[in-house]
Structures are given as C-alpha cells and as structure tokens.
Homo-oligomer: A and B are copies of this chain.
Amino acid sequence: MNLALDAMGGDIAPKNPIGGLKLALESLPLVKKFYLTGPKDVIEAELDRQQVGQRERVEIVHSTQVVEMSDSGLDAVRRKKNSSISMAVDLVKQGECQAVVSAGHTGASVAAGTLMLGRLDGVDFPGIASPMPNEHGVCYILDAGANPDATPGHLVQYAIMGSTYAQYVHGKASPVVGLMNVGEEDSKGNALAKETFPLLKLAPVNFKGNVEGHDIFETELDVIVCDGFTGNVILKSCEATAKAMFKWLKHELEATFIRKMGALMAQQAFRTVKRKGSYESYGGSPLLGVRGVVIIGHGSSSPTAIMNALRVGMEAVTHEVNPHIQNAITSHVFAHV
C-alpha cells in the first residue's frame, strides 16, 4: 500500500506534514511508500532539516500551485490542477496511492475528492465524518462541513455511511446513530430535522432518535448526523469551549503561589484530559462517499495528528470501507426501487 500526503497542507506546512511522515515511517511499516506533493526543493530541504530517514520509502511529486484560504474549494480544484492537494488526490485516482491525507483547505479537499475521484453509486453528496472523543470511545459528527445545505436524503446516506464505517473500522456490531436536534422529543427541530426523523426510522441503521449537545460526550453513540453547517459549528464550538476553559483555568491557577504549587502536583491530570480531548490522537476525518480514501486533517495538525491521519487512511483501506459502504448504499437504494 502507498499513501499520498499533501506536504503543503495545514497551518504549519511543510514542517508538520513532514514531521508526521517521519513518525509514520516508523509506526506504519505496512505502508510501502509515502508520496509527498509540493515544491520539490522545499520538501527536500525540510526532509533534510528534520533528518528523515528511510528515504527510499519517500517519493516527491513536484507541484507548485498553492490553494489560498480565500479560494473557493471548487475554484481551487478547477483552476489549480497543479496544487499539492489536487496532485495528491490525483495519485489516488491514478491508482498510485490507496489513500490521501491533507490538512489544508477543507473545501478544496472535498472538491478534489468529489470531482476528481467521483462519488460512490447512489451517494448524492459526500460527507466528512469527524471523530469526537466521548466517555464510551469515539462518536463521529457527520457531516462536519462538506455539505452545508444538506437534504433529508443526504442525512440518511450519512447515517448509512457512518454506520458502515464504525462497523468495519471500529468493529461495532450495531453502531448507534443519532440525529442532532434541539430536543429529544420526536417532533422537535427545524424543517430538515423533522423531515429526516421518519426517514431515519425506516433506514437500515440502528437509529436511536434525536440527540442533543450532552449526548456527544455522555451517550453511547457512534454517529451523529446533521447538515455540514451545523456539524462544523458544533466542532468549532466544542473546541473553542475546551480551549477557553483551559485558558481561564491556567489564568486562575497562576494567580497565587499555593494554586501554582497545586497545579504542579496535579499537572498530569490536566495533560491527560487535554490529550483525551484533542483531535491529535484521532488524526483525521474521512470524507465518506467518494471513490477513494480521502482523509481531512485539522488545519493546525501537529506531526502526531498527521501520523494518525495517515494511520486512519491506512485503516480505511485495510478494512475495505469503501466496498462495504458501496454495498450498504446499493442495498438501501435497491430496497427503495
């Protein structure tokens, strides 16, 4: 298996992608080669600077164009065919690599995955499955930002795809699916949630019903479906809250000498919780519904996060997520013809 990595993707690139590659070279021995996309000289300089070994397992695919945050995802893919993200996705399209990781422009990754690889049969719109740590393991928010104006039909497809992913990657016999809503009662919600609820009751998934914010962390759920606007806002709000709490706590803990001493004695507890709440250990979010494995990393991905994103990509390939998703979607479509 070969993996493609957008060496220029993310807020701290190419430093962090190359740092992630360095870790992955050690931890993912099953991967034959890692293909890096980006300007050859920049990547080589960074490989040297970080003293990356096993260079025979590293291929550089030269690309020069850069996707700016102000570019629309669609424009980026149509106009910048030589960008590091487009080139990386192209490696999957050509069969050179089996999965691609980018921590760059999310919209460009979604557009490149969708337009260049195409959608699986019966999938109307791909969705990003973003892992959130919870008390029982991990819960995927799907969609986390690919499809801001999702329809009820899209959410049903997300439920099926997310459920299949949790089943094959996490070994869940009957993954539990919830519908993000503003109340637990069946009749609650906006028009989208109200229309989606009865469809999910009929869908071939273990549908638990409506869920709310606290269920993300407390309830044994594998997938929470919602439109990409809501999902993206949830992810960012949760991340912002955790960050604000730690910042305020740090400020208070530094206020007196006694508190500082106490914080020092308890510092391992803070580290454990920070790590538990960090996206770093989950690595990346699979873009489900495209003909290939595309893993989207957080913009501020650390080397560890990139390494884990590469691992997530590898797992999606080894667990044959896409063939299973195709089966599940096809069965559902046939059942309704």
* A233→B229 CA distance, assembly (Å): 11
Are B245 and A245 closer than 8 Å at their CB atoms? yes
1/0 contact string of A261-285 vs chain B (CB within 8 Å): 1111111111011001100000000
Are A270 and B241 closer than 8 Å at their CB atoms? no
Are A69 and B233 closer than 8 Å at their CB atoms? no
Are A218 and B242 closer than 8 Å at their CB atoms? no
Are B213 and A237 closer than 8 Å at their CB atoms? yes
Residue among B69, B190, B218 making CB contact with A148, cutoff 8 Å: B190
Are A261 and B265 closer than 8 Å at their CB atoms? yes
User: Within 8 Å CB of A135, what residues of B?
Assistant: 244
User: Within 8 Å CB of A245, what residues of B?
Assistant: 241-242, 245-246, 273, 277
User: Within 8 Å CB of A268, what residues of B?
Assistant: 252, 259
* A233→B211 CA distance, assembly (Å): 10
Are B272 and A266 closer than 8 Å at their CB atoms? no
Are A182 and B263 closer than 8 Å at their CB atoms? no
Are A212 and B236 closer than 8 Å at their CB atoms? yes
Are A217 and B230 closer than 8 Å at their CB atoms? no
* A262→B193 CA distance, assembly (Å): 46
Are A232 and B182 closer than 8 Å at their CB atoms? yes
Given A148-B182, A189-B148, A229-B189: A255 and B277 within 8 A (CB)?
Answer: no
Residue among B70, B212, B230, B241 making CB contact with A241, cutoff 8 Å: B241
User: Within 8 Å CB of A185, what residues of B?
Assistant: 69-70
User: Within 8 Å CB of A239, what residues of B?
Assistant: 213-214
A317 within 8 A of B: no
A148: nearest chain-B partner, CB-CB: B190
* A241→B233 CA distance, assembly (Å): 13
Residue among B190, B241, B270 making CB contact with A242, cutoff 8 Å: B241
A234 within 8 A of B: yes
A180: nearest chain-B partner, CB-CB: B233
Residue among B70, B241, B261, B273 making CB contact with A262, cutoff 8 Å: B261
Instruction: A234-B237, A249-B269, A262-B264 are known; give 4 further A-B pairs, CB within 8 A.
Output: A233-B234, A237-B238, A241-B242, A266-B266
List, sorted by A's number, 26 A–B pairs whose CB atoms are closer than 8 Å. Answer: A70-B185, A135-B244, A145-B182, A148-B189, A148-B191, A180-B233, A182-B233, A212-B236, A213-B236, A215-B240, A216-B240, A218-B244, A233-B234, A238-B240, A241-B241, A242-B245, A244-B277, A245-B246, A249-B273, A252-B269, A252-B270, A252-B272, A258-B265, A262-B262, A262-B266, A266-B266
